[in-house]
Amino acid sequence: MNLSRTPGPAHKGGARAVVGGLALLAFIGFRAESLPGQDWTEFRSSRQAHSVSESFALEVVYGVGHLSVEPVEGDLLYDVRMRYDAEQFKPVRQWSLDEGRGQLRVGLTTLDDDGDWINALASGDFDPELSVDLHELGDLDESAGTLELKLGRRLPVDLKLSAGAAATEIALGGVAVSRFELTTAASETELSFNDPNPVRMAEMVIKAGAAEVTAEHLGNARFDSFDLKGGVGDVVLDFTGEWDGSATGSVKMGLGSLELRIPAEIGVWIQKSSVLTSFSAPDLEKIDGGYRSPNWEAAEYRLELELKTAFGAIEVEVVP
Amino acid sequence: MINSYEKAGRGVYTLAVVAVASAACVLFSPVGHLGTQEAPEADAQEAMVASVSMSGHKAALTLGLADGATRSFRLEQGKLYIDGLERGTYEPGGALESAWRELLRSPAVFSAEDLAGALRDWSAPADTDEAAAETLEGALRSVVDLAPVVEMADPPAALAEVSVDGPNGGVSIAPGRLSFGELGEQLDRLRAALNRLGEDAADAHEALALVVHDSYSISTDRTVEGNLALLDGELSLDGTVAGDVLVLDGTLHLMPNASIEGDILQVGGDVQQHGDPRIAGELLSIVPLSPRSAPALAPAPEVRVRPVTRVHVMDHDRGGFFGSIYRNFERAMDGLGITLGWLIGLGLAGVGLVYFQRSRLETVADTARNNLARSFAVGLAGEVLFFPVSLILVVAVITWLLIPFYAAAVALALLGGYLAVAHGVGEIFAARRFRSQLLERLRRSNSYYYVLSGLVLLLTPFALGSVLWVFGGPLSFLRGLTLFAAGLVTWAAVTLGFGAVILTRGGSRTEHARGYASSVPFASSEREDVA
């Protein structure tokens, strides 16, 4: 098990490797699920904020179970707890601190086909072609574990979450998030920013495989750019919140429905290209091949969105 | 003694254990007894002191009373003990034990102001282990009501701490009275458990400055110059630890003034923070959960990985053509999969039939084609008569043995007839001339091809009906119509084939197959050869 406190090698795997790894984790997790006997164990790692002075980067890789993220009051930098079956999984954690910049990578590793423990964080060389049988994964609830992550509000965090077959609830209201990336393979994801982000978020990236994603109050996230890539599933993007700057966004989806909720005070311009997709935007006017809100010219803050979808339905709703 | 431990290969840490334990043997005889806190001599008539001891199978509270007496209350392995006497039973891990452990973990037990109130107010959950709960509650209240409570004494730190020389410098043991055997065992457990936290953590036990094995407190003005290990009991830490804190068992209470310059490495027990203690490093723990507590601590979530269209995403009023397209796509794929499965299954049966009984199959197929109406009528009659004949076989009793054979014969006739019709359909298909070069190239003239192509044609309506699931909504009627037509065609083919099988007595009589030569696209000899 790699619980080294020294800095690990840079993660070289790309998005495909991450998704493949998650799929592998989920796949193996499913197979192991049917094994008799469970050894439930709780892993916890927490650190107070004073140990880091400059910045904090956190990466979580979690395969199967229930993943939750929420803010925490007090002097904590982070507090992560994992409940898992030690017969099948092992916790993996890497912490490094370099000139006030802290970096934590945490997650679970599991057995490969040869019975060896896979270091999910260190190798990143999974076969990206492996896929998950979604129908079979539906039976995982009996043995799924949990990962609870609590984030302090004092230091901006570069947050990267990768979830496999997991039910994911992410509440980041009031947390200073400088960058956010979420990769989810086959999951049900709820993301919310109930309070404004104290800092500007340079980028928000969501990659969803066969997933159902609901993101609420994204206006509070205060991102400069937004990028969502979805495979199969239903996606709800609620851009309400306290905007403090204009932003651009891109949404690419394969199959499924997409619902966009745009606050009335924000000017929005949507460029759409699709194959077999219905599009409903009664509050927008069609102009120059795109769809624009009537207040585009006068709006203080603007959101430019590029939508690319193959099959499904797009619905845009302007909310007061 | 030291040599025997060395021979046992326990390593460096065992040496420290033995050295410490030997000193303890000298200083605190008799050994072999885990120490408990005693009532202080000062203010003996007014004070009450609580001592808590907990392990996986035991949760005990000892009260030192104002008159110098002690009262003990213990839940251990399903039995309630009061003052050492068994007074009842309870369900291990049940609600009573959970509530009792919660009480013993609460800070109120270690607070002079809150102790009496906490004991008086404590009540066991209703409807579980009622007799034991009532006995325990009554005993606690009787003690509290009789014993006035004043400030909690803080004797352990002053009473029992032993400093000895270990392999890495001085090591202190607190509260002191512990058999060296048990101390060595627990330190070995600690060393083994620390390995679970990684290589760096595994070394933490080598720089111990203080080992705490029972309830103890470290005051604000004290600094432990090195690592501290809590093996069991309640440790109230309000001072400074210049190294790491290792928790094997028991409960570590981090009080507001506590300051830890290293990490907290927890491999068991519990860590509770009160106020804002300072931890320079990390709180890192791996703790096994009992089967009972695991679901209670974190209920297994419901993971629904199959995306489901939500109402708020696309409500029915605004349904839309593709409103539930994912689900529809899934249904379509399911339908296509089922159709493909039937095609493969029937195809294998057809291939087998051609291989072993091609002549009979062709006879039945020709009969179905050339005596279509008659075959259909006979097949319909056969289907209608199936149940009356079955009834007769049942009623006659003596014919019961025939029922399986009758059922099997009918099933084989239905299957064979359907395959024969598929053969005939394939033959008709092969007789057509296509403008498409591709279809012409695909055209073959043997019975295997006839059967397989005929099955494809007969099952195509089912596939079409399945594909129509994709479009859902307005096309549901068309989908239903297609599937109904597919079922009708299948029934007609089965009936036709069944009749042809009956007419030809399973393909053995050819007189009803006449007329074949005039319609077949290939010469009879060619048909035989290519097959």
Q: Which residues in chain A touch residue B323, judged by CB atoms under 8 angstroms apart? A: 257, 313
> How is chain B split into domains, by residue range?
38-146, 156-288, 325-530
The number of distinct structural domains making up chain A is: 2
pLDDT of residue A222: 96
Residue B469 to residue B3: CA distance in whole angstroms: 80
Nearest to A65 among B289, B301, B307 (CB): B301
Nearest to A232 among B286, B287, B307 (CB): B307
Q: Which residues in chain B touch residue A133, judged by CB atoms under 8 angstroms apart? A: none
Quote the tokens at residue B254.
Answer: 């981090």
Residue B191 to residue B211: CA distance in whole angstroms: 13
Assess whether A19 and A109 both reside in one domain. yes
Cis peptide before A282 (omega within 30 of 0): no
Assess whether A211 and A152 both reside in one domain. no
DSSP summary character for residue B299: P
Q: Which residues in chain A touch residue B283, judged by CB atoms under 8 angstroms apart? A: 44-47
Residue A178 domain-assigned (yes or no): no
Contact B335, B459 (CB under 8 A): no
Q: Which residues in chain A touch residue B326, judged by CB atoms under 8 angstroms apart? A: 232-234, 255-257, 312
Q: How far apart are the first and last CA of chain A?
A: 52
Q: What average pLDDT does range A270-297 have in this prediction?
A: 89
Q: Do A212 and B287 touch (CB under 8 A)?
A: no
Tell me, rounded to whole angstroms, the distance of Cα B97 from its chain centroid. Answer: 26
Q: Do B294 and A40 touch (CB under 8 A)?
A: yes
Contact B194, B201 (CB under 8 A): yes
Assess whether A135 and A227 both reside in one domain. no
Beta carbons within 8 Å of A245's beta carbon, 6+ residues apart: A200, A222, A224, A301
Task: Encode A5-22: b = buried (16+ Cβ within 10 Å), e = exposed.
Answer: beebeebebeeebbbbbb
Per DSSP, what are the bridge partners of residue A207? A183, A229
For residue B347, the SS3 value is helix
Q: Which residues in chain B touch residue A144, judged by CB atoms under 8 angstroms apart? A: 300-301, 303
Residue B512 to residue B421: CA distance in whole angstroms: 15
pLDDT of residue B342: 92
Per DSSP, what are the bridge partners of residue B208? B227
Interface test with B, best of A103, A109, A168, A278 (most B CBs within 10 A): A278
Distance, in angstroms, between A4 CA and closest chain B CA? 6
Assess whether A126 and A224 both reside in one domain. no
Q: How far apart are the first and last CA of chain B?
A: 91
Quote the tokens at residue B81.
Answer: 């003990």
Residue B155 to residue B157: CA distance in whole angstroms: 6
pLDDT of residue B393: 80
Instruction: Please tell me the number of Cα atoms within 13 Å of B350 on its side-chain side.
Output: 28
A69 pLDDT exceeds 90?
Answer: yes
Q: What are phi and psi of B451, to 5 degrees?
A: -65, -45
Distance, in angstroms, between B284 CA and closest chain A CA? 4
Q: Do B303 and A66 touch (CB under 8 A)?
A: yes
Q: Do B325 and A311 touch (CB under 8 A)?
A: yes
For residue B169, is it left (φ>0), alpha (ψ between -120 and 50) or beta?
Answer: left
Distance, in angstroms, between A168 CA and closest chain B CA? 9
Alpha carbon separation from B64 to B50, B54, B105 (Å, rounded): 6, 17, 18
Q: What are phi and psi of B136, to 5 degrees?
A: -65, -45
pLDDT of residue B63: 78
H, E, C per residue of B5-58: HHHCCCCHHHHHHHHHHHHHHHHCCCCCCCCCCCCCCCCCCCCCEEEEEECCCE
pLDDT of residue B146: 58
Contact A204, A178 (CB under 8 A): no
Quote the tokens at residue B452.
Answer: 């397989």
Beta carbons within 8 Å of B474's beta carbon, 6+ residues apart: B321
Alpha carbon separation from B276 to A73, B205, B255, B259 (Å, rounded): 11, 26, 8, 9
**Which ranges of B56-179 does DSSP label H, i.e. alpha helix?**
95-105, 115-121, 130-146, 156-159
> How confident is the prediction along chain B (531 residues), in pLDDT tens digits per residue?
333 333 333 333 322 332 333 333 322 322 233 333 333 333 333 446 677 777 777 888 877 776 666 678 889 888 888 877 778 888 888 888 888 888 887 777 766 677 888 888 888 877 778 888 888 888 887 777 655 433 333 434 434 566 655 555 567 887 765 666 677 777 788 888 888 777 767 777 777 888 888 888 898 989 998 899 998 888 999 999 999 999 988 899 999 999 999 999 998 888 988 888 999 999 999 988 765 444 443 443 333 333 332 222 233 333 444 445 666 777 788 889 999 999 999 999 999 988 888 888 989 998 888 888 889 999 999 888 888 888 888 877 777 778 888 888 999 999 999 999 999 998 888 877 666 666 666 666 688 888 898 999 999 999 988 888 777 655 777 888 888 899 999 999 999 999 999 988 888 887 777 654 434 433 333 444 333
Nearest to B322 among A91, A135, A311 (CB): A311
Which secondary structure element, helix H or strand E, spans residue B375, and what is its range? helix B372-395
Task: Encode A216-246: b = buried (16+ Cβ within 10 Å), e = exposed.
Answer: bbbbbbbbeebbbbbbbbbbbbbbbbebeee
pLDDT of residue B17: 30
pLDDT of residue B15: 28
A279 pLDDT exceeds 80?
Answer: yes
DSSP summary character for residue A4: -
Q: What are phi and psi of A71, to 5 degrees?
A: -75, 160
Nearest to B302 among A44, A167, A278 (CB): A167
DSSP summary character for residue B300: P
Residue B237 to residue B258: CA distance in whole angstroms: 6
Structure confidence by residue, pLDDT tens digits, A153-210: 888 999 999 887 778 899 999 999 999 999 887 778 999 999 999 999 999 999 988 7
Residue B183 to residue B177: CA distance in whole angstroms: 10
DSSP summary character for residue A222: -
Picking from A12-16, A258-262, B75-79, B363-367, which range would have the lowest pLDDT averaged per residue?
A12-16
Assess whether A200 and A81 both reside in one domain. no
A236 touches chain B (CB under 8 A): yes
Nearest to B300 among A138, A144, A278 (CB): A144
Q: Which stretch, A41-50, A128-137, B23-32, B393-402, has highest mean pLDDT?
A: A41-50
Residue A168 domain-assigned (yes or no): no
Q: Which residues in chain B touch residue A187, judged by CB atoms under 8 angstroms apart? A: 303, 305
Q: Do A83 and B322 touch (CB under 8 A)?
A: no
Q: Do A41 and B302 touch (CB under 8 A)?
A: no
DSSP summary character for residue B292: T
Assess whether A265 and A118 both reside in one domain. no
Q: Do B199 and A165 touch (CB under 8 A)?
A: no
Structure confidence by residue, pLDDT tens digits, B422-444: 999 988 888 776 666 666 666 66
For residue B274, is it left (φ>0), alpha (ψ between -120 and 50) or beta?
Answer: beta
Contact B304, A166 (CB under 8 A): no
A137 pLDDT exceeds 50?
Answer: no
Residue type, B449: Y
A237 pLDDT exceeds 60?
Answer: yes
Q: Do B305 and A165 touch (CB under 8 A)?
A: yes
Domain boundary, last residue among A142, A159, A176:
A159
Per DSSP, what are the bridge partners of residue A109? A90
Listed by number, the residues of chain A in 100-139 with a beta carbon closer than 8 Å to a beta carbon of chain B are: 132, 134-135, 137-138
Assess whether A222 and A129 both reside in one domain. no
Q: Do A255 and B325 touch (CB under 8 A)?
A: yes
Assess whether A6 and A70 both reside in one domain. yes
Q: Do A134 and B305 touch (CB under 8 A)?
A: yes
Give the domain extent around A47: 1-159
Q: Do B283 and A188 touch (CB under 8 A)?
A: no
Q: Which residues in chain A touch residue B302, judged by CB atoms under 8 angstroms apart? A: 141, 167
For residue B225, the SS3 value is coil
Q: Which has the closest alpha carbon to B72: B51, B95, B56?
A: B51
